[in-house]
Amino acid sequence: MALYEHVFLARQDASTQQVEELTAQMTGIVEGLGGKVTKTENWGVRSLTYRMNKNRKAHFVLLNIDAPSAAIAEIERQERISEDVIRYLSVRVEELEEGPSAMMRKADRDRERDDRGGGFRDREGGGFRGDREGGFRGGDRDGGGFRGDRGPRRPREDAETTTTDGE
């Protein structure tokens, strides 16, 4: 039997329970055709890069499958019929990844960073530019352009100086 990684995207307005039922249905199809699903990961609702069928977000689900190609053909056929599935992708692999997938490891790293209080979102004063003193907004502007940490402008030595005293 061949090894496959299968990812499908379900509509954002489908409930978590509906997505779990859809996953169970796909698992049942694979097992009914003599294969097995070795790992199931629900990556949750994530933003899409571009709109698909009027959806901006979707539930992402990964299935690691050890099954004949007929089982993959059948679950893809069922997903084409289902109105809840936006997209799907099956990839044949040499070996299945053990442990959590890259997406789950990234989610764990993000969760740890948020728990430590790192990142720009947790700071007082807002985002990246809001916590600077004298940056682009507010602060002191020394004539044209952003001067950063270079301090106030000094007149060039070769420039003539004029006085406004009337002399």
pLDDT above 70 for 136: no
Return the structure tokens found at 93: 């692999």
* pLDDT surpassing 80 at residue 132: no
- pLDDT greater than 90 at residue 7: yes
Q: Give the pLDDT of residue 135.
A: 47
Are 44 and 103 a contacting pair, CB within 8 Å?
no
Mean pLDDT of 13-37: 93
Q: Where are the beta strands (DSSP E) in the chain?
A: 2-11, 36-52, 55-67, 85-93
pLDDT tens-digit series, residues 103-116: 777 777 777 777 77
Q: Which residues contact 133 (CB under 8 A, 6 or more apart)?
A: 139
CA 155 to chain centre: 49
Q: What is the pLDDT of residues 53-96, one digit of tens each?
A: 888 999 999 999 999 999 999 999 999 999 999 999 999 998 88
**What span, in angstroms and rounded, lies between the C-alpha atoms of 98 and 38?**
10
Is the pLDDT reported for residue 5 higher than 60? yes
Amino acid at 90: S
Distance, in Å, from the CA atom of 111 to the CA atom of 133, rounded to the nearest integer, reads 29
**d(Cα 62, Cα 43) in Å, to the nearest integer?**
8
Residue 121: is its pLDDT beyond 90? no
Angle between helices 69-81 and 16-32 (to 10 degrees): 150
Model confidence at 13: pLDDT above 80:
yes
Percent of the chain with pLDDT over 70: 70
Phi-psi region of 140 (alpha: psi -120 to 50; beta: other; left: phi over 0): beta
Domain at 2-95: CATH code? 3.30.70.60
163, pLDDT greater than 80: no
166 secondary structure, DSSP code: -
The domain ranges of the chain are 2-95
